[in-house]
Amino acid sequence: MFDKNGQRIKQIGYGAMVLEGYYGQSDDNAAVETLTHAINQQMMIDTADAYGAGHNEELVCQAIKQASVAPFIATKFGIVYEEGEKGSQLDTGWGFPLTINGSKAYVQRAIDSCLRRLGVEQIDLLYAHYLDPNVALEETISAMAEAVAAGKVAAIGVSNVTAEEIERANNVHPIASVQYEYSLFRREAEREILPTVNRIGAALVAWSPLGAGFLTGNVNALEKDDFRNNNPKMQGDNFTSNLQRLEKIKSVAFDLGVSPAQLALAWLVAQGDNVLPIPGSRKITRIDENLQALNIKLSPDILTQLDNIAPIGAFKGATLV
C-alpha cells in the first residue's frame, strides 16, 4: 500500500484498539506515548470511530500533534456507537450482535466526526467497518467515493466482507485495502478473500494478526471482563485444544531464536507484499519487537512446517465474521 506521496508504507502497522481496555486496562498518557512511538516508526495507525466510542481517535489526534513525522491514519465507520443513531442488527458469532449503519447520510456524518476527532484535513484510508445488511453496499461505497472527490479521504477500504462484496465495492470505486482477520490462528482468508484482493491489486490488512494475543503464548487464561471471552477459539475445550497446538508453533519460534509474536508476523509478511499485519500492544518495547519481524525471512522449509502445524481451520472455534 502507498501513501499519498506514492511512498510504500511499512508492511507492519499498529492496531490501536488495544488502547481502549478490551484486552486489559490501558492508561491514556501511556497510550498517547505508545501511539506517538508507532507514528514515529512510520507505522500505519489503524483506529475506528467505534473504538472507545470516539475516544481512540482522540488519542490518535494527540499523538499526531506530538509525533515528529507525518502520520498515515486508517480509520473505520459503520458500527453505531452514539446514542440516538439507528442501524441494522448484524450477527457476528461473538455472542452479541452489532448495530451497523451504511446509509449515505450516516456515512457523511461519520466521516465529518472522524476528521474532527482526528484533527486532520484528510483521512489517509477510510474503511466501512462492516457492511449494513439493509443498505446496498453501492450506496455506502458511493458515499465514501464522494468523500474522496471532496478531498476528505485519500483512499477507501472495506472490512469483514465476502469476496463477492469486494468485487462489487471495487466496481464502484477502487478499493485500496481489505481488512479481515488473518493469522496462523485463523487462515480462512486464504480461501477467497486473499485471491480476490490480489486480483484487484489491493492490500490485505490482517486484523488480530497475533490471534488477539493468543499466538504470543502469553494468553493462557482470561480475566472475567476480557473481551476475548467472547471468542469461541478461547472458550472451554477449544481453548485447551488450541493451546496444545500453539506449543508446536512456539517450539518453531524457539528453534529460530525469535519470539512467537515475531514468528506469527513474519509468517503473515511472507504471504505476500500486499499482506499488512496491524498488531496492537500497549507496550513500546513490544511495538519494536513486532516491527523487527520485517527482518525475519522464513525459509520454505519453515513455511511448510507451519502449514503442517496450522492448516486452514486447524484452531478450533468458529466466528461468523
Ligand X SMILES: NC(=O)c1ccc[n+]([C@@H]2O[C@H](COP(=O)([O-])OP(=O)(O)OC[C@H]3O[C@@H](n4cnc5c(N)ncnc54)[C@H](OP(=O)(O)O)[C@@H]3O)[C@@H](O)[C@H]2O)c1
User: Interface with ligand X by CB under 6 A: which residues?
Assistant: 15-18, 23, 46, 129, 159-160, 179, 207-213, 216, 218, 259, 261, 278-283, 286, 289-290
Measure the CA–CA gap between 173 and 163, rounded to whole angstroms: 16
63 vs 304 by CB, closer to ligand X: 63
Measure the CA–CA gap between 180 and 216, rounded to whole angstroms: 19
When CB distances to ligand X are compared, the closest residue is 15
Relative to beta strand 175-181, strand 98-100 is unpaired
Give me the phi and psi of 241, to 5 degrees please. Answer: -65, -45
Closest CA to 126 of 104, 148, 109: 148
52 vs 213 by CB, closer to ligand X: 213
Closest CA to 264 of 312, 208, 220, 308: 208
225 vs 304 by CB, closer to ligand X: 225
Closest separation between CB of residue 18 and ligand X, Å?
4
- Whole-angstrom CA distances from 12 to 79, 121, 242, 246 are 25, 25, 25, 22
32 vs 210 by CB, closer to ligand X: 210
Are 157 and 179 in contact, with CB atoms under 8 Å apart? yes
Are 126 and 178 in contact, with CB atoms under 8 Å apart? no
Are 130 and 181 in contact, with CB atoms under 8 Å apart? no
Closest separation between CB of residue 282 and ligand X, Å?
4
Give me the phi and psi of 279, to 5 degrees please. Answer: -65, 145
Closest separation between CB of residue 219 and ligand X, Å?
7
Are 91 and 320 in contact, with CB atoms under 8 Å apart? yes
Closest separation between CB of residue 34 and ligand X, Å?
9
Closest separation between CB of residue 117 and ligand X, Å?
16
Relative to beta strand 203-207, strand 175-181 is parallel
Judge whether 51 counts as a catalytic residue: yes
Measure the CA–CA gap between 256 and 299, rounded to whole angstroms: 11
SS3 28: helix
Give me the phi and psi of 62, to 5 degrees please. Answer: -65, -40
111 vs 291 by CB, closer to ligand X: 291
Closest separation between CB of residue 216 and ligand X, Å?
4
Q: Which residues contact 262 (CB under 8 A, 6 or more apart)?
A: 253, 289, 290, 292, 293, 296
150 vs 223 by CB, closer to ligand X: 223
Q: Which of 14, 23, 51, 182 is catalytic?
A: 51
Q: Supply the residues annotated as catalytic.
A: 51
